[in-house]
A and B are shown apart, each in its own frame.
Chain A
Amino acid sequence: MNHDYHKDISGCGLTGLISKKKRRVSGREIVKSLCLMTDRGNGLGAGYAAYGIYPEFKDCYALHVMYDDPEVRWSVEDHLKANYKVEKIEEIPTSPVKAIPISPLLMRYFVSPLKDKLAGETAADDFVVNTVMKVNSEIGGAYIFSSGKNMGAFKGVGNPSDIAEFFRIDEYEGWTWTAHTRFPTNTPGWWGGAHPFTLLDWSIVHNGEISSYGINKRYLEMYGYKLTLLTDTEAAAYMLDLLIRRHGLDISTACQALASPFWKAIDGMNEGERDALTALRQTYGSALLNGPFSILFGHGGGLVGINDRIKLRPLVAASKDDVVYMASEESAIRTICPSPDKVWAPRAAEPVIVEFE
């Protein structure tokens, strides 16, 4: 167990939107929303995640891979071809941007695990997770930064508008979007360190600092996760993966593990719920994300926003027709939705869970 690591710390701004009717929305909207929050980033990292963007390959896992060293590409591709049916290999389309003179080689692969490599129905997701863990921890210079179906993450070192222009975000249309701008307080420089952070179809953008990181990391390691990025966001993403996908908790219960109600509240509940939440805290105490945070996490079935137990970071939500917006600042919502039907500030640790109709 490696303890001699340097944790990555940053402040941030985040925004997201979801159409409950799965109406696909242009990336232009989310870029505009993100770019408004200039004080929340310092141009050292930005990113976007979108769902519903690859309808033609919707049943394949879309692997987005960055290569700091283009030579490594071949060993990754050998590994993929040995284990997956590869439908398509292409470079992720980018446009030249003056502010981004250099970038890693960015590739995407649409793949499905080979049948004979899998045991049983549910194993496909685990298989992909293993590939991601293996490549990211064992193959130096290669990093899989997106691995879900019909979704993708686009991120890098730069300010929100440059990163959007670089990745041609306005050309994508998705029913869920999340986006993030970063204010790293230590040396940045690596594209993989930007948000969103994703695993399978989970994508996370996060603002804050998880003061419980040390135990969250060790807890995840007990379940075989390898935390290579050393960011809070990575820990949050794996925690959701563990609780929801592997342990089968529903989203609201998982949120209650990540930002648990206080004992005082639990003690006052009626018996059944009290027993449930007492056991949840007893069992998942090491999964509690403690410290200031607001998080948006997108997944195949919707979008969730949550913040810490005493709301030490901002989160505002709004709705208009079939679209729900969540962002660090109300202004980031109003710039793309000037007259929402409803605007509210979610209470501490009370998740906003939006699912498709």
Chain B
Amino acid sequence: MFRSLALPEYLATIDQVKCIRCKRCIQNCGWGVYSWGWDKVLINTSKCVKCLRCYHYCPEEAIEIRDNPTRYKQNACWGYNNIRNIKRQAETGGIPLTGMGSDLPYPILFDNLLIDACQVTNPSIDPLREPMELRTYLGKKPSQLEFERGADGKPRLKTRMPPQIKLSLPVMFSPMSFGSISLNAQKVLAQAAAACGTVMNTGEGGLHEDLFPYKSNIIVQVASGRFGVNPDYLNAGVAVEIKIGQGAKPGIGGHLPGEKIPLEVARAHMIPVGTDAISPAPQHDIYSIEDLRQLIYAIKETTGYKPVSVKIAAVHNVAAIASGIVRAGADIVYLDGFRGGTGAAPSIIRDHLGIPIEHAIAAVDDRLRQEGIRNEASIVAAGGIRSSADAAKAIALGADAVAIATAALITMGCTTCGKCYTGNCSWGITTQRPELTARLDPEVYAERLINLIHAWEHELKEILGALGINAIESLRGNRERLRGVGLDAQTLDILGVKPAGR
């Protein structure tokens, strides 16, 4: 048998003294690491991805998953991944794939930004005593309003307000298609979105009928493959999103192999069972901003003018692109930073293309203000939002709301092992294997996701209270309340943030 020369990443080990031979590890591992020998569990450690499912389900704590201590000779230039990828490519001639967001040590600017707090001159506000408002509306806003006085002397609106998406807090769920994740995972997102007053996003995979009850908490997506798109689909949610790009893989399309297209997925995608679902790199009817405008308005005509979001990967020229998108008629610009997650992407693309979300938010918000069109669209920021603090910083830089995916998956058990593209996720998230997806009970895990969102909600309120403001709109774009630590002058300038101490 051919044995790969790429070193295994992890060593799965079982303490044979503790092991009671219950075989749960065999049953739980989606990757086939464990098998039954005649009197003990056998381990094929080269298959281990350290998702830790077995560890959590071993009743005897007999399992330990170690990073493989055997490494290539220490070399500051030729790192472990460089050598390992070359060996894999030499063996297969292929493009190494990966899942999740980039794990390379690029600087994370959120970790170089600190939030202000009140002392003496402006009192802080206790969110347990005073109202603290996080409600956010996404959509186009007029630059000014006209009112008249009603018979009761109260103001009446004369201006026609464009449609808005109402969020109870400025946190929503990023697009993840049925196909890339399991239906149960989508149900978790939908139930949590409904319970928390926010929205989930179908991604490019159509809308399964089980999600119909959650329509008022769903954004439907139209991407380059146009899977599942028809007028009913477009009208199913509160808004439609046109996906141009994704932070983890800007400029490239997607490929869901036929083996991962069982009947249910095929129905939602509206393609035959077992055919490859290929999303081309560009949308073949969008080769310019004018074309985008036509699609935006075609969708608006079809939906009776629901808000249209345009999702792009954060790339070098993001500010100019976003300005074009807003002028093309989008109601929301969804920016996905390069650290954003993915179900499957070539690692070379994921790890080397795009720009961080922090720069992108700042550049886009600045540009839209310079052009006097910031009110024309909301900005949603995604791609590496790990905590409510990241969310607060993104909002202070200029985002209206943030979107999270990885954080939501972590509540379902994900350990960010990064092997989503294999379709073997032992947690039942990024797989369609029925024996694996059955583990993800939507009710049970929705509860956890709801807990997370509620926890972030409390934290955001505490942050606002410390800042002495009681409405999220006073944080939005309020870069005066951020300070940079350890950032160079030019980066501070791009972020529009002063260094700490100023």
Q: Which residues of A are interface residues toward B (Cβ below 8 A)?
A: 1, 3-4, 6-7, 9, 11, 185, 208-209, 211-215, 217-219, 221-223, 246-250, 252-253, 256, 260, 262-264, 269, 272-273, 275-277, 279-286, 288, 290-292, 309-310, 312
Chain A residues, CB < 8 A from B475:
212, 215
User: How far apart are the CA atoms of A1 and B492 in the complex, in Å?
Assistant: 13
Q: Does B424 contact A (CB under 8 A)?
A: no
Task: Judge whether A1 and B496 touch: CB under 8 Å.
Answer: yes
Bits for B124-146, please: 1 = Cβ < 8 Å to A, else 0.
Answer: 01000011010101000111111
Task: Judge whether A309 and B122 touch: CB under 8 Å.
Answer: no
Tell me which of A213, A247, A273 contacts B145 (CB under 8 A).
A247
Q: Give the shortest distance, in Å, between B431 (CB) and chain A (any CB).
A: 41
Task: Judge whether B468 and A215 touch: CB under 8 Å.
Answer: no
List B71-123 residues whose CB lies under 8 Å from chain A. Answer: 118, 121-123
Minimal Cβ-Cβ distance residue in A for B116: A211
Q: Give the shortest distance, in Å, between B114 (CB) and chain A (any CB).
A: 15
Minimal Cβ-Cβ distance residue in A for B482: A214
> 10 tightest A-B contacts by CB?
A214-B480, A285-B473, A212-B474, A290-B474, A214-B478, A209-B122, A247-B144, A215-B478, A290-B469, A3-B496
Task: Judge whether A273 and B154 touch: CB under 8 Å.
Answer: yes
Task: Judge whether B473 and A276 touch: CB under 8 Å.
Answer: no
Minimal Cβ-Cβ distance residue in B for A7: B480
Chain B residues, CB < 8 A from A214:
477-481
Task: Judge whether A276 and B471 touch: CB under 8 Å.
Answer: no
Chain B residues, CB < 8 A from A292:
122-123, 468
Task: Judge whether B498 and A4 touch: CB under 8 Å.
Answer: yes
User: How far apart are the CA atoms of A111 and B230 in the complex, in Å?
Assistant: 65
Chain A residues, CB < 8 A from B155:
252-253, 256, 273, 276-277, 280
Bits for B359-377, please: 1 = Cβ < 8 Å to A, else 0.
Answer: 0000000100110101100
Task: Judge whether A272 and B470 touch: CB under 8 Å.
Answer: no
Minimal Cβ-Cβ distance residue in A for B371: A222
Residue among B137, B147, B150, B473 with most chain A CB within 10 A: B473
Tell me which of B135, B156, B374 contacts A276 (CB under 8 A).
B156
Tell me which of B122, B133, B145, B161 contacts A291 (CB under 8 A).
B122
Task: Judge whether B157 and A218 touch: CB under 8 Å.
Answer: no
Q: With A262-B131, A277-B155 given, name 17 new contacts (CB 8 A).
A: A1-B369, A3-B493, A3-B496, A4-B493, A7-B480, A209-B468, A213-B480, A214-B478, A214-B481, A263-B133, A272-B157, A275-B157, A276-B154, A276-B157, A282-B141, A286-B473, A291-B122
Q: Give the shortest distance, in Å, between A253 (CB) and chain B (any CB).
A: 5
Q: Give the shortest distance, in Å, between A185 (CB) and chain B (any CB).
A: 6
Chain B residues, CB < 8 A from A256:
155
Task: Judge whether A211 and B474 touch: CB under 8 Å.
Answer: yes
Contact status of A211 and B366, CB under 8 A, knowing A3-B498, A11-B121, A279-B161? no
Task: Judge whether B481 and A248 touch: CB under 8 Å.
Answer: no
Minimal Cβ-Cβ distance residue in B for A277: B155
Q: Give the shortest distance, in Å, between B365 (CB) and chain A (any CB).
A: 9
Contact status of A215 and B135, CB under 8 A, knowing A282-B164, A290-B471? no
User: How far apart are the CA atoms of A280 and B137 in the complex, in Å?
Assistant: 12
Task: Judge whether A283 and B145 touch: CB under 8 Å.
Answer: yes
Q: Does B284 contact A (CB under 8 A)?
A: no
Contact status of A6 and B502, CB under 8 A, knowing A215-B474, A290-B471? yes
Task: Judge whether B157 and A248 touch: CB under 8 Å.
Answer: no
Minimal Cβ-Cβ distance residue in A for B479: A214
User: How far apart are the CA atoms of A208 and B492 in the complex, in Å?
Assistant: 28
Chain B residues, CB < 8 A from A309:
470-471
Task: Judge whether A3 and B469 touch: CB under 8 Å.
Answer: no
Task: Judge whether A212 and B135 touch: CB under 8 Å.
Answer: no
Q: Does B317 contact A (CB under 8 A)?
A: no
Tell me which of A4, A252, A286 contacts B502 (CB under 8 A).
A4
Task: Judge whether B145 and A279 touch: CB under 8 Å.
Answer: yes
Please, could you name 27 A-B residue pairs with CB atoms under 8 Å apart, sorted by A? A1-B370, A4-B492, A4-B498, A6-B502, A211-B467, A213-B478, A215-B475, A215-B476, A215-B480, A218-B369, A247-B144, A248-B144, A248-B146, A260-B471, A262-B131, A272-B150, A273-B154, A276-B157, A279-B145, A282-B137, A282-B141, A283-B142, A283-B144, A284-B145, A292-B122, A292-B123, A312-B123
User: How far apart are the CA atoms of A275 and B137 in the complex, in Å?
Assistant: 14
Task: Judge whether A290 and B502 touch: CB under 8 Å.
Answer: no
Q: Which residues of B are interface residues toward A (Cβ below 8 A)?
A: 118, 121-123, 125, 130-131, 133, 135, 137, 141-147, 150, 152, 154-157, 159, 161, 164, 366, 369-370, 372, 374-375, 467-471, 473-481, 492-493, 496-498, 502
Q: Give the shortest distance, in Å, between B125 (CB) and chain A (any CB).
A: 7
User: How far apart are the CA atoms of A223 and B373 in the complex, in Å?
Assistant: 10
Q: Give the shortest distance, in Å, between B323 (CB) and chain A (any CB).
A: 14
Q: Give the shortest distance, in Å, between B109 (CB) and chain A (any CB).
A: 15
Interface of B, helix, strand, loop or mixed by DSSP: loop
Q: Give the shortest distance, in Å, between A119 (CB) and chain B (any CB).
A: 21
User: How far apart are the CA atoms of A273 and B467 in the complex, in Å?
Assistant: 30
Tell me which of A223, A253, A269 contacts B147 (CB under 8 A).
A253
Contact status of A222 and B374, CB under 8 A, knowing A263-B135, A273-B154, A282-B137? yes
Chain B residues, CB < 8 A from A4:
492-493, 498, 502
Task: Judge whether A282 and B502 touch: CB under 8 Å.
Answer: no
Task: Judge whether B133 and A1 touch: CB under 8 Å.
Answer: no
Minimal Cβ-Cβ distance residue in B for A242: B144
Task: Judge whether A286 and B477 touch: CB under 8 Å.
Answer: yes
Chain A residues, CB < 8 A from B147:
249-250, 253, 276
User: How far apart are the CA atoms of A27 and B101 in the complex, in Å?
Assistant: 68
Contact status of A285 and B123, CB under 8 A, knowing A212-B469, A248-B146, A273-B154? no
User: How far apart are the CA atoms of A281 and B164 in the complex, in Å?
Assistant: 12
Chain B residues, CB < 8 A from A219:
477
Q: Give the shortest distance, in Å, between B486 (CB) and chain A (any CB).
A: 17
Task: Judge whether A221 and B369 touch: CB under 8 Å.
Answer: yes
Chain B residues, CB < 8 A from A218:
369, 477, 479
Chain A residues, CB < 8 A from B493:
3-4
Minimal Cβ-Cβ distance residue in B for A9: B121
Tell me which of B143, B150, B369, B471 contacts A285 (CB under 8 A).
B471
Q: Give the shortest distance, in Å, between A27 (CB) and chain B (any CB).
A: 30
Q: Give the shortest distance, in Å, between B373 (CB) and chain A (any CB).
A: 9
Minimal Cβ-Cβ distance residue in A for B161: A279
Minimal Cβ-Cβ distance residue in A for B480: A214
Minimal Cβ-Cβ distance residue in A for B373: A222
Contact status of A285 and B496, CB under 8 A, knowing A247-B144, A276-B157, A290-B470? no
User: How far apart are the CA atoms of A238 and B100 in the complex, in Å?
Assistant: 47
Minimal Cβ-Cβ distance residue in B for A224: B372
Q: Give the shortest distance, in Å, between B162 (CB) and chain A (any CB).
A: 10
Q: Give the shortest distance, in Å, between B496 (CB) and chain A (any CB).
A: 4
User: How far apart are the CA atoms of A275 and B159 in the complex, in Å?
Assistant: 11
Q: Give the shortest distance, in Å, between A168 (CB) and chain B (any CB).
A: 33
Q: Give the shortest distance, in Å, between A118 (CB) and chain B (any CB).
A: 23
Chain A residues, CB < 8 A from B476:
215, 285-286
User: How far apart are the CA atoms of A213 and B155 in the complex, in Å?
Assistant: 27
Chain B residues, CB < 8 A from A284:
145
Chain B residues, CB < 8 A from A3:
479-480, 493, 496-498
Chain A residues, CB < 8 A from B375:
283
Chain B residues, CB < 8 A from A253:
147, 155
Q: Give the shortest distance, in Å, between A228 (CB) and chain B (any CB).
A: 16
Task: Judge whether B372 and A310 touch: CB under 8 Å.
Answer: no
Contact status of A291 and B469, CB under 8 A, knowing A4-B498, A218-B477? yes
Minimal Cβ-Cβ distance residue in A for B151: A272
Contact status of A310 and B470, CB under 8 A, knowing A6-B502, A282-B161, A283-B145? yes
User: How far apart are the CA atoms of A269 and B152 in the complex, in Å?
Assistant: 12
Minimal Cβ-Cβ distance residue in B for A248: B146
User: How far apart are the CA atoms of A221 and B368 in the complex, in Å?
Assistant: 12
Task: Judge whether A288 and B471 touch: CB under 8 Å.
Answer: yes
